[in-house]
Amino acid sequence: MPTIASAAHALGDVTASDSMLRRFLHGLPGVDAVGLEARAASLGTRSIKTTAKAYAIDLAISMVDLTTLEGADTPGKVRALGAKAVHPDPTDRTTPTTAAVCVYPDMVAVAKEAVAGSGVKVASVATAFPAGRAALDVKLADVRDAVAAGADEIDMVIDRGAFLAGHYMKVYDEIVAVKEASGAARLKVIFETGELSTYDNIRRASWLGMLAGADFIKTSTGKVAVNATPANTLLMLEAVRDFRAQTGIQVGVKPAGGIRTTKDAIKFLVLVNETAGEDWLDNHWFRFGASSLLNDLLMQRQKLATGRYSGPDYVTVD
Protein backbone atom coordinates (compact mmCIF):
# COMPACT_ATOMS: atom_id res chain seq x y z
CA MET A 1 0.00 0.00 0.00
CA PRO A 2 1.41 3.42 -0.94
CA THR A 3 2.12 5.72 1.95
CA ILE A 4 1.15 9.29 2.65
CA ALA A 5 4.60 10.40 1.58
CA SER A 6 3.97 9.05 -1.88
CA ALA A 7 0.61 10.84 -1.97
CA ALA A 8 2.34 14.12 -1.50
CA HIS A 9 4.95 13.02 -4.02
CA ALA A 10 2.39 12.25 -6.69
CA LEU A 11 0.75 15.60 -6.26
CA GLY A 12 3.96 17.56 -5.84
CA ASP A 13 4.67 18.96 -2.45
CA VAL A 14 1.32 20.70 -2.09
CA THR A 15 1.27 20.56 1.68
CA ALA A 16 4.68 22.16 2.14
CA SER A 17 3.26 25.53 3.12
CA ASP A 18 -0.02 27.26 3.79
CA SER A 19 0.13 29.16 0.51
CA MET A 20 0.91 26.07 -1.55
CA LEU A 21 -1.92 24.17 0.05
CA ARG A 22 -4.28 27.08 -0.56
CA ARG A 23 -3.17 27.34 -4.18
CA PHE A 24 -3.75 23.62 -4.65
CA LEU A 25 -7.19 23.55 -3.01
CA HIS A 26 -8.39 26.66 -4.80
CA GLY A 27 -6.97 25.25 -8.02
CA LEU A 28 -9.32 22.28 -7.87
CA PRO A 29 -11.95 22.58 -10.59
CA GLY A 30 -15.16 24.30 -9.50
CA VAL A 31 -18.24 22.16 -8.97
CA ASP A 32 -21.15 22.43 -11.39
CA ALA A 33 -23.86 22.44 -8.75
CA VAL A 34 -26.78 21.97 -11.13
CA GLY A 35 -25.04 19.16 -12.98
CA LEU A 36 -24.00 17.47 -9.73
CA GLU A 37 -27.51 17.51 -8.33
CA ALA A 38 -29.00 16.35 -11.62
CA ARG A 39 -26.50 13.49 -11.81
CA ALA A 40 -27.23 12.45 -8.23
CA ALA A 41 -30.97 12.63 -8.87
CA SER A 42 -30.78 10.63 -12.10
CA LEU A 43 -28.73 7.90 -10.42
CA GLY A 44 -31.45 7.78 -7.77
CA THR A 45 -34.02 6.62 -10.28
CA ARG A 46 -32.52 3.18 -10.91
CA SER A 47 -34.91 0.34 -10.25
CA ILE A 48 -33.31 -2.31 -8.04
CA LYS A 49 -35.53 -5.37 -7.63
CA THR A 50 -35.65 -9.00 -6.49
CA THR A 51 -32.22 -10.67 -6.19
CA ALA A 52 -30.35 -7.42 -6.79
CA LYS A 53 -32.42 -5.84 -4.04
CA ALA A 54 -31.71 -8.72 -1.67
CA TYR A 55 -27.99 -8.32 -2.38
CA ALA A 56 -28.18 -4.55 -1.89
CA ILE A 57 -30.04 -4.90 1.41
CA ASP A 58 -27.52 -7.36 2.83
CA LEU A 59 -24.65 -5.20 1.61
CA ALA A 60 -26.23 -2.12 3.15
CA ILE A 61 -26.75 -3.90 6.49
CA SER A 62 -23.10 -4.94 6.48
CA MET A 63 -22.12 -1.29 5.88
CA VAL A 64 -24.10 0.25 8.72
CA ASP A 65 -22.22 2.00 11.50
CA LEU A 66 -24.95 1.58 14.09
CA THR A 67 -24.82 4.83 15.93
CA THR A 68 -25.93 6.23 19.24
CA LEU A 69 -24.59 9.66 20.09
CA GLU A 70 -26.94 11.04 22.70
CA GLY A 71 -26.26 12.74 25.97
CA ALA A 72 -28.64 10.19 27.47
CA ASP A 73 -26.67 7.11 26.35
CA THR A 74 -26.43 4.56 29.12
CA PRO A 75 -24.21 1.46 29.29
CA GLY A 76 -27.41 -0.57 28.92
CA LYS A 77 -28.36 1.20 25.74
CA VAL A 78 -24.88 0.72 24.30
CA ARG A 79 -24.97 -3.00 25.18
CA ALA A 80 -28.37 -3.32 23.49
CA LEU A 81 -26.97 -1.58 20.44
CA GLY A 82 -23.98 -3.93 20.43
CA ALA A 83 -26.28 -6.94 20.59
CA LYS A 84 -28.24 -5.56 17.69
CA ALA A 85 -25.09 -4.96 15.65
CA VAL A 86 -24.03 -8.58 16.15
CA HIS A 87 -27.48 -10.06 15.43
CA PRO A 88 -29.49 -7.39 13.65
CA ASP A 89 -32.43 -9.76 13.20
CA PRO A 90 -32.43 -12.42 15.92
CA THR A 91 -35.18 -14.33 14.12
CA ASP A 92 -33.02 -14.77 11.02
CA ARG A 93 -29.41 -15.70 11.66
CA THR A 94 -28.50 -15.36 7.98
CA THR A 95 -28.64 -11.59 8.43
CA PRO A 96 -25.13 -10.12 8.16
CA THR A 97 -23.68 -8.22 11.10
CA THR A 98 -23.34 -4.47 10.82
CA ALA A 99 -19.90 -2.99 10.19
CA ALA A 100 -19.50 -1.22 13.49
CA VAL A 101 -21.14 0.46 16.41
CA CYS A 102 -20.41 4.15 16.82
CA VAL A 103 -20.40 5.68 20.30
CA TYR A 104 -18.88 8.43 22.42
CA PRO A 105 -15.37 7.73 23.81
CA ASP A 106 -16.52 6.97 27.34
CA MET A 107 -18.79 4.20 25.99
CA VAL A 108 -16.09 2.48 23.93
CA ALA A 109 -15.18 -0.04 26.62
CA VAL A 110 -18.82 -1.03 27.08
CA ALA A 111 -19.35 -1.32 23.33
CA LYS A 112 -16.14 -3.30 22.90
CA GLU A 113 -17.32 -5.85 25.44
CA ALA A 114 -20.78 -6.05 23.83
CA VAL A 115 -19.43 -6.93 20.38
CA ALA A 116 -16.46 -9.01 21.51
CA GLY A 117 -15.65 -11.91 19.22
CA SER A 118 -18.16 -10.94 16.53
CA GLY A 119 -15.99 -9.04 14.07
CA VAL A 120 -18.12 -5.93 14.57
CA LYS A 121 -15.85 -2.94 15.00
CA VAL A 122 -16.18 -0.19 17.56
CA ALA A 123 -15.97 3.33 16.24
CA SER A 124 -15.72 6.30 18.52
CA VAL A 125 -16.32 9.92 17.77
CA ALA A 126 -13.64 12.13 19.24
CA THR A 127 -12.02 15.59 19.01
CA ALA A 128 -14.77 17.39 20.90
CA PHE A 129 -17.53 15.98 18.70
CA PRO A 130 -19.79 17.41 17.31
CA ALA A 131 -18.64 21.05 17.41
CA GLY A 132 -14.91 20.43 17.41
CA ARG A 133 -14.45 23.62 19.38
CA ALA A 134 -11.64 22.73 21.75
CA ALA A 135 -7.89 23.14 21.95
CA LEU A 136 -5.79 20.63 20.02
CA ASP A 137 -4.43 19.10 23.23
CA VAL A 138 -7.94 18.41 24.45
CA LYS A 139 -8.89 16.87 21.11
CA LEU A 140 -5.82 14.65 21.08
CA ALA A 141 -6.48 13.56 24.65
CA ASP A 142 -10.03 12.68 23.57
CA VAL A 143 -8.63 10.56 20.72
CA ARG A 144 -6.02 8.81 22.89
CA ASP A 145 -8.68 8.06 25.45
CA ALA A 146 -10.88 6.39 22.83
CA VAL A 147 -7.98 4.43 21.34
CA ALA A 148 -6.85 3.30 24.79
CA ALA A 149 -10.36 2.06 25.51
CA GLY A 150 -10.09 -0.13 22.42
CA ALA A 151 -11.71 1.84 19.59
CA ASP A 152 -11.00 0.33 16.18
CA GLU A 153 -12.00 3.48 14.36
CA ILE A 154 -11.94 7.16 15.24
CA ASP A 155 -14.47 9.61 13.81
CA MET A 156 -12.98 13.09 14.10
CA VAL A 157 -14.55 16.42 13.19
CA ILE A 158 -12.54 19.06 11.38
CA ASP A 159 -12.31 22.60 12.69
CA ARG A 160 -14.94 24.15 10.41
CA GLY A 161 -14.20 27.60 11.79
CA ALA A 162 -10.58 27.38 10.69
CA PHE A 163 -11.56 25.86 7.35
CA LEU A 164 -14.09 28.58 6.57
CA ALA A 165 -11.62 31.25 7.65
CA GLY A 166 -9.21 29.85 5.08
CA HIS A 167 -6.67 28.43 7.57
CA TYR A 168 -6.27 25.22 5.63
CA MET A 169 -2.87 24.39 7.07
CA LYS A 170 -4.28 24.50 10.58
CA VAL A 171 -6.98 22.01 9.61
CA TYR A 172 -4.40 19.87 7.83
CA ASP A 173 -2.00 19.83 10.80
CA GLU A 174 -4.83 18.94 13.12
CA ILE A 175 -5.88 15.95 11.02
CA VAL A 176 -2.26 14.80 10.80
CA ALA A 177 -1.91 15.06 14.58
CA VAL A 178 -5.13 13.16 15.17
CA LYS A 179 -4.07 10.50 12.66
CA GLU A 180 -0.87 10.04 14.60
CA ALA A 181 -2.72 9.85 17.90
CA SER A 182 -5.12 7.28 16.45
CA GLY A 183 -2.29 4.83 15.88
CA ALA A 184 -3.64 1.65 14.31
CA ALA A 185 -7.27 2.82 14.46
CA ARG A 186 -8.74 3.88 11.13
CA LEU A 187 -9.48 7.57 10.97
CA LYS A 188 -12.75 8.94 9.61
CA VAL A 189 -12.72 12.67 9.01
CA ILE A 190 -16.08 14.44 9.34
CA PHE A 191 -16.45 17.64 7.33
CA GLU A 192 -19.97 18.58 8.45
CA THR A 193 -20.90 19.36 4.86
CA GLY A 194 -24.05 21.16 6.02
CA GLU A 195 -21.81 23.86 7.50
CA LEU A 196 -19.41 24.20 4.58
CA SER A 197 -21.92 26.22 2.53
CA THR A 198 -20.72 25.38 -0.97
CA TYR A 199 -19.96 22.32 -3.05
CA ASP A 200 -16.56 23.84 -3.85
CA ASN A 201 -15.78 23.82 -0.14
CA ILE A 202 -16.83 20.18 0.15
CA ARG A 203 -14.48 19.25 -2.69
CA ARG A 204 -11.63 21.20 -1.07
CA ALA A 205 -12.30 19.66 2.33
CA SER A 206 -12.31 16.18 0.77
CA TRP A 207 -8.90 16.66 -0.79
CA LEU A 208 -7.56 18.32 2.33
CA GLY A 209 -8.70 15.39 4.44
CA MET A 210 -7.26 12.80 2.08
CA LEU A 211 -3.93 14.62 1.80
CA ALA A 212 -3.71 14.66 5.58
CA GLY A 213 -4.10 10.90 5.74
CA ALA A 214 -7.81 10.23 6.34
CA ASP A 215 -8.80 6.58 5.94
CA PHE A 216 -12.43 7.63 5.46
CA ILE A 217 -14.07 10.92 4.62
CA LYS A 218 -17.44 11.39 6.25
CA THR A 219 -20.17 13.86 5.41
CA SER A 220 -21.69 14.90 8.70
CA THR A 221 -22.14 14.50 12.40
CA GLY A 222 -25.89 14.02 12.13
CA LYS A 223 -26.30 16.91 14.53
CA VAL A 224 -27.11 19.73 12.08
CA ALA A 225 -30.05 20.44 9.78
CA VAL A 226 -28.48 19.28 6.52
CA ASN A 227 -26.70 15.95 6.67
CA ALA A 228 -25.75 13.43 4.00
CA THR A 229 -27.41 14.14 0.67
CA PRO A 230 -26.94 12.18 -2.54
CA ALA A 231 -25.27 15.22 -4.12
CA ASN A 232 -22.63 15.84 -1.48
CA THR A 233 -21.91 12.13 -1.20
CA LEU A 234 -21.53 11.92 -4.98
CA LEU A 235 -19.05 14.78 -4.82
CA MET A 236 -16.99 13.01 -2.16
CA LEU A 237 -17.09 9.76 -4.12
CA GLU A 238 -15.68 11.61 -7.12
CA ALA A 239 -12.94 12.97 -4.87
CA VAL A 240 -11.88 9.53 -3.57
CA ARG A 241 -11.96 8.14 -7.11
CA ASP A 242 -9.75 10.94 -8.41
CA PHE A 243 -7.45 10.73 -5.40
CA ARG A 244 -6.83 7.05 -6.01
CA ALA A 245 -6.22 7.69 -9.70
CA GLN A 246 -3.54 10.23 -8.83
CA THR A 247 -1.92 8.69 -5.78
CA GLY A 248 -2.92 5.04 -5.72
CA ILE A 249 -4.32 5.45 -2.23
CA GLN A 250 -7.89 4.29 -1.66
CA VAL A 251 -9.97 6.25 0.83
CA GLY A 252 -13.41 5.24 2.14
CA VAL A 253 -16.57 7.34 2.22
CA LYS A 254 -19.20 7.50 4.94
CA PRO A 255 -22.42 9.43 4.49
CA ALA A 256 -24.07 9.97 7.86
CA GLY A 257 -27.32 11.40 9.09
CA GLY A 258 -30.69 11.57 7.39
CA ILE A 259 -30.52 8.20 5.64
CA ARG A 260 -33.57 6.44 7.00
CA THR A 261 -35.04 4.16 4.37
CA THR A 262 -33.89 1.20 2.35
CA LYS A 263 -34.72 3.13 -0.79
CA ASP A 264 -32.33 5.92 0.22
CA ALA A 265 -29.59 3.45 1.12
CA ILE A 266 -29.87 1.68 -2.23
CA LYS A 267 -29.65 5.03 -4.01
CA PHE A 268 -26.35 5.65 -2.24
CA LEU A 269 -25.08 2.20 -3.24
CA VAL A 270 -25.90 3.03 -6.86
CA LEU A 271 -23.90 6.25 -6.49
CA VAL A 272 -20.96 4.28 -5.14
CA ASN A 273 -21.05 1.72 -7.92
CA GLU A 274 -21.45 4.27 -10.69
CA THR A 275 -18.94 6.80 -9.37
CA ALA A 276 -16.16 5.21 -7.36
CA GLY A 277 -16.75 1.72 -8.69
CA GLU A 278 -17.10 -1.80 -7.39
CA ASP A 279 -13.92 -1.58 -5.31
CA TRP A 280 -15.82 0.61 -2.88
CA LEU A 281 -18.81 -1.74 -2.57
CA ASP A 282 -17.46 -3.22 0.63
CA ASN A 283 -17.79 -2.20 4.23
CA HIS A 284 -14.06 -1.58 4.40
CA TRP A 285 -14.54 1.35 2.01
CA PHE A 286 -18.11 2.50 2.37
CA ARG A 287 -20.28 2.96 5.45
CA PHE A 288 -23.62 4.37 6.43
CA GLY A 289 -23.72 6.35 9.65
CA ALA A 290 -27.26 5.64 10.78
CA SER A 291 -29.49 4.34 13.51
CA SER A 292 -33.06 4.09 12.23
CA LEU A 293 -31.94 2.92 8.77
CA LEU A 294 -31.16 -0.56 10.08
CA ASN A 295 -34.75 -1.20 11.14
CA ASP A 296 -36.06 -0.30 7.70
CA LEU A 297 -33.46 -2.53 6.06
CA LEU A 298 -34.53 -5.39 8.32
CA MET A 299 -38.21 -4.86 7.55
CA GLN A 300 -37.47 -4.89 3.83
CA ARG A 301 -35.37 -8.00 4.28
CA GLN A 302 -38.24 -9.72 6.06
CA LYS A 303 -40.59 -8.65 3.27
CA LEU A 304 -38.32 -10.22 0.65
CA ALA A 305 -37.98 -13.42 2.65
CA THR A 306 -41.66 -13.91 3.46
CA GLY A 307 -43.53 -11.95 0.79
CA ARG A 308 -45.46 -10.12 3.51
CA TYR A 309 -44.97 -6.51 4.45
CA SER A 310 -43.38 -6.34 7.85
CA GLY A 311 -44.00 -3.74 10.53
CA PRO A 312 -42.19 -1.93 13.33
CA ASP A 313 -43.50 -4.52 15.80
CA TYR A 314 -41.02 -7.02 14.34
CA VAL A 315 -37.81 -5.06 14.86
CA THR A 316 -36.34 -3.69 18.05
CA VAL A 317 -37.11 -0.26 19.40
CA ASP A 318 -33.83 1.49 20.04
Partner 1 sequence: MSEKSEKIERLSVFKTYKLYVGGKFPRSESGRVYEVTDSKSNWLANAPLASRKDARDAVVAARKAFGGWSGATAYNRGQILYRIAEMLEGRKDQFVREVADAEGLSKSKAAAVVDAAIDRWVWYAGWTDKIAQVVGGGNPVAGPFFNLSTPEPTGVVVVLAPQESSFLGLVSVIAPVIATGNTAIVVASEKSPLPALSLGEVLATSDLPGGVVNVLSGRTAEIAAPLAAHQDVNAIDLAGADDVLAKELEIAAADNLKRVLRPQPVDYSATPGIERLTAFLETKTVWHPTGSLGASGSSY
Closer CB to partner 1, 27 or 311, in the complex: 311
Q: Name the active-site residue from 112, 179, 254, 267.
A: 254
Q: How far is the CB of 49 from partner 1 (least distance, A)?
A: 12
Report the interface residues with partner 1, using CB under 8 A: 302, 307-314
Annotation says 32 is catalytic? no
Annotation says 155 is catalytic? yes
Closer CB to partner 1, 136 or 305, in the complex: 305
Q: How far is the CB of 295 from partner 1 (least distance, A)?
A: 12
Closer CB to partner 1, 11 or 54, in the complex: 54
Q: Name the active-site residue from 65, 89, 155, 159.
A: 155
Closer CB to partner 1, 50 or 71, in the complex: 50
Closer CB to partner 1, 166 or 312, in the complex: 312
Q: How far is the CB of 232 from partner 1 (least distance, A)?
A: 27
Q: How far is the CB of 69 from partner 1 (least distance, A)?
A: 25
Annotation says 263 is catalytic? no
| Of 312, 307, 305, 281, nearest in space to 95 by CA | 305
Q: Name the active-site residue from 188, 218, 264, 267.
A: 218
Q: List residues with catalytic annotation.
A: 155, 218, 254
